[in-house]
Amino acid sequence: YHSMPLASLIRLVLLGMIWGASFLFQRITVPAVGVAFTASIRIVLSALMLVLIARVLGLSLQWRTHWRVWLFLGTVNTAIPFLCFAAAARSLPAGYMAVINATVPLLTVILAWAMFRIRPSASKRAGVVVGLLGVAVLARYGSIAMTAPVLLGIGLLFAAAAMYAYIALYVRQYPLGVDPLVMAAASQLGAAFVILPLGIHSLPTELPSLQVLACLLVLGIVCTGVAYLLYFRLLSDVGSEKAVTNTFLVPLFAQLWGALFLDEHLTAFGAIGFALVLLAVALVLEIRPWRKAQA
């Protein structure tokens, strides 16, 4: 981080705090208004915000040209994963959700190897092994018992992470050459079209409490809309290699918020599982700060 401008470093930490908080807010909203409504409101609010910002900046969403792609990206990269996250929030602590979500780089390596025969480096292969070991330690010795709902939640999170990994490879293989903000806004709009019928079908029968409504608003506008803007600003300012280091911060902040506000605490073995997953991400991303220190 020593070579990163202060403003970018602040944005990186802020992004980690915000994305970490998204798991906390879902733990509060899902029991009150359900899985489908939580995911729907989150997507619709972020889509409205991002489309409005794109319009203000004079960016065209190129809907006529790319509408099939926007619907596909919206479904696979947002609508289904957000439903998986919301469903997992019924049984898993915020920290668990965030650390399994942090396995996206590991799954990207596995999918690239399986789909495109891209042979990973020794560091990446080691990262995959260490990451799977970390998740196994977390699952076996963590702070929650391995009941059927917990196992289902873990499975849903891995499904969401695999979808993120697939889309990362898809976008790399078939670049559209559009502004990243346009891609974010248009794919969120596509996701909103896909999920809106489900959201309407699952409208709560009574008005949620002010706390739940506030959490839904923050989840959609701040944890999704603002977070996308911060992430794309980081991509443009410091590049993808440094921007993706937020992968380390999100689980740490999710665990911190869960401990502070929901009384979710790690066991010693749980902490070891967390550390192994984050080490695995470092190996997969080939982040070796000591090399620069020696240079």
Q: For residue range 77-126, list pLDDT tens digits in order.
A: 999 999 999 999 999 999 889 999 988 888 988 998 998 888 888 988 99
Q: State residue 43's pLDDT score.
A: 97
End-to-end CA distance of the chain: 15
Q: How far is CA 95 from the centre of its chain?
A: 13
Instruction: Note the pTM of the prediction, 2 decimals.
Output: 0.89
The rounded distance, in Å, linking the Cα atoms of 254 and 26 is: 11
Quote the tokens at residue 131: 């990451």
Residue 129 phi, psi dihedral angles, 5° rounding: -65, -50
> Using an 8 Å Cβ cutoff, are 246 and 231 in contact?
yes
pLDDT tier at 177 (50, 70, 90 boundaries)? confident
Residue 290: pLDDT band by 50, 70, 90 thresholds? Answer: very low
Determine what percent of the chain is predicted with pLDDT higher than 70.
95
pLDDT of residue 168: 84
- Identify whether the C-beta of residue 16 lies closer than 8 Å to the C-beta of residue 231: no
State how far the Cα of 254 lies from the Cα of 114, in Å rounded to an integer. Answer: 31
Q: Domain segments of the chain: what residues? A: 6-294
Confidence check: pLDDT of 2 > 70: no
Question: How far apart, in whole angstroms, are the C-alpha atoms of residue 250 and residue 279?
Answer: 14
Residue 29: the pLDDT is: 96
Separation between Cα atoms, residue 232 and residue 281, nearest integer Å: 21
222: Cα separation from own chain's centroid: 14
Tokens of 165: 């990994």
Helix, strand, coil shares of the chain, percent, nearest 5, are 80, 0, 20
pLDDT at residue number 288: 63
* pLDDT per residue as tens digits for the range 208-255: 999 999 999 999 999 999 998 898 888 778 776 677 778 888 999 999
Q: How many CA atoms lie within 13 A of 191 on its CB side?
A: 31
